[in-house]
Chain A
């Protein structure tokens, strides 16, 4: 089955700087890669996703890049703000196989004011 590795496990950045979280996946058949943000006491919330026919996607301060050859994808947050502090999870899924998402182990991002 799919295996998703995520790093770093913790990340602290100064407010206004950029943050990058990286994930690798094992199943070359995976073709859908969402990112989730989980705030304390809440369930994960989808913030951005990308499909394998696209190399990059942006939504305001958030961007995701995908390298299918290397089987890795990354989340980029620019101009970080205190409200970006949370745990971020990457995930992968084969749309033509089983239906479940396989998640990475999470990155705790702390924005230092």
Chain B
């Protein structure tokens, strides 16, 4: 596609429910990143994919968080048993090139998750 597409744009869920967030990167971009942005805060790294593998998942805050990427394209971030502290904007970005790419990221508009 023309840009990075994320869905849903907004999600309100009850505490304890599971949620899935979707990211559709720019066609041909091999690298995909998930970041979390809490209200008024910076961007917190969650996980990085190169193709379908995740060489760096060091930012996932707990085992309730998981992500996968299939076909080297779409990625889903799953949060199980959501907690109120999970409320944030979840941003996805993709970049072209291979390992050691010098290209910048292209971000999607994010999914605003609210846990009530």
Which positions in A face B, CB cutoff 8 Å?
6, 32, 34, 36, 41-46, 49, 51, 89, 95-96, 98-106
Closest B residue, CB atoms, query A46: B104
Which residues of the other chain, A, contact B102 by a CB distance below 8 angstroms? 32, 51, 95
Is the Cβ of A99 less than 8 Å from the Cβ of B108?
A: no
Main secondary structure of the interface of A (DSSP, over half): loop
Closest CB in chain A relative to B15 CB, distance in Å: 25
Cα separation A41 to B5 with both chains bound (whole Å): 14
Is the Cβ of A46 less than 8 Å from the Cβ of B105?
A: yes
Is the Cβ of A49 less than 8 Å from the Cβ of B104?
A: yes
Cα separation A63 to B56 with both chains bound (whole Å): 32
Cα separation A11 to B55 with both chains bound (whole Å): 37
Is the Cβ of B100 less than 8 Å from the Cβ of A98?
A: no
Is the Cβ of A99 less than 8 Å from the Cβ of B104?
A: no
Cα separation A100 to B49 with both chains bound (whole Å): 10
Which residues of the other chain, A, contact B50 by a CB distance below 8 angstroms? 99
Cα separation A4 to B91 with both chains bound (whole Å): 19
Is the Cβ of B43 less than 8 Å from the Cβ of A44?
A: yes
Cα separation A42 to B91 with both chains bound (whole Å): 10
Inter-chain contact total with CB atoms closer than 8 Å: 57
Which residues of the other chain, A, contact B45 by a CB distance below 8 angstroms? 100-102
B42 on the A face (CB < 8 A) = yes
Is the Cβ of B106 less than 8 Å from the Cβ of A99?
A: no
Closest B residue, CB atoms, query A43: B107
Cα separation A98 to B73 with both chains bound (whole Å): 21
Is the Cβ of B105 less than 8 Å from the Cβ of A89?
A: no
Cα separation A7 to B59 with both chains bound (whole Å): 24
Is the Cβ of A41 less than 8 Å from the Cβ of B109?
A: yes
Which residues of the other chain, A, contact B35 by a CB distance below 8 angstroms? 103
Beyond the given A6-B42, A43-B4, A95-B102, could you list 8 further A-B residue pairs with CB under 8 A, ordered by the A residue number?
A41-B109, A44-B107, A99-B48, A100-B56, A100-B59, A105-B41, A106-B41, A106-B42
Is the Cβ of B104 less than 8 Å from the Cβ of A103?
A: no
Which of B31, B33, B100 is the one whose CB lies under 8 Å from A95? B100
Cα separation A96 to B106 with both chains bound (whole Å): 20
Cα separation A45 to B42 with both chains bound (whole Å): 14
